[in-house]
Structure formats: C-alpha cells, structure tokens
Structure 1
Amino acid sequence: MVGDPRWITLPPVAKAQAIAQRVLTAPDGSRWLFGAHARWYRLDQADGRWHLSAPPPHPAIRSAARPGAPGTLGTPGAPGAPGALAPPVPSELIPTGPDFAYDRGSTQAFVGPDVPHEVTDGIRMLIKTHRGVPLEDFPLTGGFGEVFARDVAGTIAAVWGTIMWCAYAPAFDGNEALLSAFGEFLARPLPGDDWVRWLPMGSFDALITLYAERMRSGAEQAGLHLARVITETAAVLRADARFRPRADALIAMVGPLPTQPWLDHHALLSGAVRQAWLARCPPHLAAATLPELSPGDHFRHGLYDLVETLGYLAPRGMDPRTTAAALVAADVAGVCGTTEPYWAPGASGTADIVARLYPWIDDELRNALYVALSDPWHPLRGCWPRNGALPIAFLPPDRNTSAALLGAAYATGLAWCRLTGMSMPSNGFAVCRAVVQCLIHERDDPD
C-alpha cells in the first residue's frame, strides 16, 4: 500500500485512516500497527501512546493477530476492550513512502567477520593519498587532537571520523586491519584490550567542525578538499553493510559540496552548518541520521534491532523482547557498578538512568527492565552474564548471529549512554564482553 506511487499524493487524513484500519490486536489484547520506517509500534496501555516495539516473533501469536474494527480498540472503556475508541495515529508514525525503502544494512559488530579487504585497501589508499598535505592548511580540530598526534593532518582525521560515524557498532577486533592502518597516527592506544577495541560512536559535529573551521578561516579550498575526503571515504565504506546506511547518508549530505561550494555559505555565516547538512539528507536515508536528530528515538531503534537479533531464542521458548530488556538492565547495572536493586542505597545512578529510559519504551519492556533491576531472584536475572559468559541457554547458534548480537547490544548500549548522559565504559558493556567469548575463536584474523 505504501509502496504504491499514489500513496504520496494522498492527503494526511486519508493516510492516517488507512493505517488506523490496519491496526492489529494480538491474542493477549496488545495492539500493533506497522508504520513509519517500516517498523512495528505497540500501544502502551498505561499512557495510550504508540511505542516503537519489535513484535512477538512466535508464528502462532503473529498469525492469530486480527485487525480491529475501525475506530475501536477491543472492549469498551479501556485499551484492549471492545468498543473503546482507538487513539489517533500520530503523524510521525504515518509512513511517508520513502522511509519504507531504507536499507538498514547489518547490525554486526567488527568482531568475527572482518572488514572486507577491498574496503581496507581503499582506506589505506586514501590515507596514502592524503597524508602528505601541509599541516598548516589542515589543522586538527573538532576534538581529533585527543586521538591523533600533533603532526597528523586533518585529512587523516576526516578519514577516521567518517569511519567511526558510519559504523553501526564500532566494536572492532583487536587485530582489525582497518584500525591498524591508523596505528602510526594515534596519540595513545585505543580503548579496549587485545581482543576488542571498544570505540565510541563517531562525532557528526567533529566532522562538521573540520570542514567549517577551514571554510570560516578563508581557506575554502582546504574546506572543500576535506568534504571531498569525507565523501571518498564514505564511498569506500559503503561496500560493507555495517557502514552502508550512514555512508550513503553522508555522501548525500557532503557529496555535493566540492562541485557546489556555495551550498553552505549562508549556513557558515549563521552557524547552522549542522542543520544544512541534515537538511540535504533525502527522506529514504533520514533514519541514518536519527542519532543526530533524536537520541531517544535512536535508542528505541537500537533496542528494536536488539530484539530482532535475539529472535533465535523464540524457538527455545524464550521471549526476545523481555530478554532484550533484561540485557539492557545487566549493562545498566554494570555501568553503575552495582547488581543490587536499583532502589537500594547507593544505586541512585541506576534509578536516574531508568527514569530517563522509561519514556522511550512500552509498558511491557518497562516492566521487564524494572523487575530485572529490582529483584535479584527474578527469572530475568538468569539472562545476565555469569562469570563473564552468557548462560548456555542464551548462546547464539553461529558466528554471524553472535556478531549481530554483539553489534546490536553495543549499539544499544552506546545509544542509552548518549540518551542518559552516561559515559560509556572503556572496557565495553557486560553483555558485549560476554558475547565476545562466543567469537574469540571464530575471528577472521590475518593470515
């Protein structure tokens, strides 16, 4: 329906009605709609809001869901009771059309399956090409001076910054050749250990600063050269699905600048370069920029990915949704340094994090997060890593699934840290460290 070219021409009221008529009621009374970003949303019975929420994976539950009567919700008087008026579908949940074409790439981290040789070779060629530029023309700005030595040019920082921003989950194998290419430029060792480098999500603003500082200083050719380096790097990265969605978005935002240098002139004067770049991102790639537009929505999409990655648990009789909430709880407890109930003395940091996450998840996940953190004897605590390893019942079935779980868990951890203002742990999150144990002997280490 949304893929039909006529969808874009419909008035908003007609679109809202078409989506509302396709709301589904599951056997347990929960209400679901398939909306914006080609993803599912669940009605929160507590607050009457639709929350982004991966659907139940069990085929029997999915096949038993039925469309509700238009304008009704189950039962009279309460969400899920026949005759109750359905809440309106918010405009942001109504598909625009292009958002359904978004390529989500891969949730895999860079442990297990390495970066393809053609990508690594392409990045090495870019480094070789751009390393010899005059330092006075390409100074390190945007915070890159904390990463690289003083004698490193901003062009190298542009390559690195592009890689880090485009990576879905920047947890890299300690022997990853892509990172080794930057070894001689680094001011200090990367965070992590011999097995994994736990890197923060790249800064979009740092890339903008590299470019904008040169443009504002009157060195327009240097600024445009940096834009070209960013675009060339993104073009190399898009061959790997773990980079592709954000790489495509970056190419769309920055790619036009070398041939249309006037595009950002007004934004440079008003200090609105960030907004100008984001405005150039086409609708079908907008989801790639969610971390910059809404940290809360970025967290919800990360949690959605985590639930989908845990789909292998459904045939084992476990619920991927509540398991995902329990794994988030394990990481929250690990970051706060306590496994005690979050309302216990000394656990106020945990309580603050939970309070900031609650508005972004539905009532079912909210309850799972609460009980996993508050009740040491609750069965959901059985999902938590033990002695640094995942419980046997939760082990992924193969390397690719392990890599996807690692990536989704790490991306979700970075997202909730960003949302709550917490600093990411330099040694990784508890769940991610446990998943790495499944991959240590299944890596694509260099020959």
Structure 2
Amino acid sequence: MRQESPAAPEHAQPLVPPEKGLRVGAAKADITPEDLTGLHPMPGAFSGVHDPLHLRALYLGDAVTEVALVSLDLIEAGDVTPLRERVERELGIPADHVVVTATHTHNAPRIADVSPGALAHAGGPESAAYTETVYARIVAALRRARATARPARFGVGTGTADVNVNREVFQDGRWSLGHNPDGPSDKTVWVLKFEDLHGAPIAVLVNYAVHPTVVFGTSEVSGDLAGAACRHIEEVLHDAHPGSGAVALWTPGPLGDQAPRIDLGVPFGTAPDERRKARAYAAMEAQGLIVGAEALRVADGIETPTSDDILLEARQRTVLCPAKSGQDVMETMRQDRSDTVPLRLSLIRLGDVAVTGVSGEVVTEIWRRLRDRSPLARTLLVSIANDRIGYLADDARFDRPVHSVNGCPVRRGYAEDAIVDGLLEMIAASSVTRLAEGTR
C-alpha cells in the first residue's frame, strides 16, 4: 500500500527573496559526542576519538521552492520524521523537502528511532539524548546555510575510483563477507558542484558506493574514508578560495554489497594492536584521498552555466512493504514485530539531475535497473535517506543466503519494484509539474 506524504501546510511559505534563479548555502557543524558512554551501536564501547564527526548541510532555494539535504558522519539515522517536521515548524522548509542521510561510518553512533519492522542497530537512552543534540545542531546549521545562501549556479559530472569491491563471497561451502572482485560493483564518483556567480565554491556533493569500514574494530570514533575524503576536498577548496567556507557532503550510493578494497581494520571483538591500527588509519586516509582527489578533478572540469529556469523540486513517498524477519544478524540489531515495514523514497530534482533517496542499503543490481530505466541520464541514488530500515536486496539475490538478504526486512518480490517503479513515477511527476508551471 502506497501512502503519499501530505502536502506542507499553508503557513510553511518559502522565505527566499521572490526572484528567479537558484540560491545555495552550506554549513558544517561538529557532532562529536562529548561523552561516548553507551553510544557504540555494536557490542563494545568507544575508547576515544581519532578524528571528529561532522554534519554538513546544503540549502537550495528559488522563488518557489526550498530544499535541504543533510549528511551526517554517523553509522545510520533511523526515522528522522520528527526532525523533518521540526525543520518545517522552525524554518518553514517543508518536511517533504528535507533529506537526511548518514555516511555509514561504522566507527560512529546512530541517531533516531527504529521504524516498525526495520532491522537496525538499536540505541539506548544515551543514543536518544545524543539524537536530540544532533537534531538541534542540524536545525542550527540549516538556519545558517539559508541565511548565507546566495545566487548560485551548479553543474554535475562523474569520474571513477577503484576503492570499492563486491563483498559477498562464496567460500568453504557458504556465503560470507569478504572481497569478490568478480561481483557487481559500481565505481562511479558522482559530483555536484555549487558555486556563486563569481566562481567561489559553496559546496561539493559526492556520491559513492562503499561501506566506510576501513577502521572498523579500532574502537575509536572516526569518519572513516568518507570523512577523510571530505576533509581533503574542503582543505583544497579552502586553500584555493580562502574564506569561502566551502563544504563537501558525502552521500552513500548503492553500498549494500560494497566493501572498501583495502580493509586493514582490527577484527571485531579483538584487542586492537597499535601498529595494526596505524596501518588501518593509513589505509583510510589513502582511500579517502583517492575518492576526494577524483571528486576535485571532476569538479574542476564541470561547467556551471547560470540559468534563471532551473527546475528545483522535491517530493517524498512512503511504501508499506510486507516485512520479513532478519536471519543471522548481529545481536545489537533490533526488529520490532510488524506486518509491514515503511520504505521511504525521496527525490530532489535540480534541472536534469535527479538525486533519488532510499531508506536502506541498496545493492548494485537495483541501482543499475533504476539507472537504465530513468528518463534522466543524470540520476544518482542515495542510500540511508530519511531512515535505515536494513539492506534492500534485489529479487534474484534471494536465491542465495547472502548478508544483504539475511539483513533485508522486506519480503522477496517487493523492495526492488517498489524502489525502481516508485522513483521513476516520482521523476515522471516532476517533469509533469514543470510542464504545468511553464517557464518561471
């Protein structure tokens, strides 16, 4: 059963100036917990902080529409509906125009509640308190991003980085997690570049499919390779444009079956050795540098034409899918009994670019089907968008007891079609809206 999200209330009016053209703002805030007690999402505890965690917020607006996209250096964000509704109440940005994702670094806490039927790492009271702290900082960051938004232009480009590898391996008579270089793996580095009309960078959005688990098991808080990539991009942009405050946002692509190519992390549950930890962090920085440097190379070649007629639109949809129980999942995974599980879909349409979002860890084959059928060649997919209900496996994969099937909370025959058909319908509806509105 599909449920269209309700329209924004009449009082939630855009607060941008009534003028044509895109306006863009970005902000960044530290979300490193001051007290790490009870915040490790998996068995064990954090022993310290290796590198800080951040949230990065992107604001897009024109005379008609306001949109917000937030990326968090966290393992996952559950049902963020209360946050999106708070953004609507306090800032007037419609809840259906707010997309929140997590980089999925496994060396960071989680936030928000677990949806009914979802398979996710449950948090305790410490996680609930941390969630409220992060929510407040997200709202404050979006407020700053909108207050500093300025006339802007944008462009999109793609590159490649061989940092990911399929992780579903059949060995010793069973399926397990490892490195499968022959398995499907999308190496595309998507880059959206936003700059002001004078050419100063505002934000770079990166989309790539990999689990940031290079330093998993070190017991130290870290943004892992996603955080390293963003640091590199921001440092280079700040050196080239002092005072610009440019922000790099990492969004996870179809990472449900993707591991980092070089993973020197400490085996989970073992005492970390300092020399091994040092090698793991070196591998983290190296792979983050590869993706970050490729994103900068792509960004340098992107043309950003100015246009007063860029379609800016956002919409969301929730599809209730028949739920199934997880099998052979970690003991910290929680799944409340429910006949259905909410699959949340989102779309941010920016000209001929479709930034689609799905509330789980999407596997490569679902993404390829969406890519091949989309009417927009520039269609990218963001996993863990506005919720993390579990892995989302394609139907054919259910013939194998792989990790992404065991951890999928949706019965076979539902998730793949719901994702692909639902997002295609949303893209088509955005095109109809543009035709109905005419040239702005």
Say which one has the larger Rg: 1
Between structures 1 and 2, the one with greater strand share: 2
Normalization by structure 1: what TM-score? 0.24
Between structures 1 and 2, the one with greater helix share: 1
Normalization by structure 2: what TM-score? 0.25
Higher relative contact order (CA 8 A, sep 6+): 2
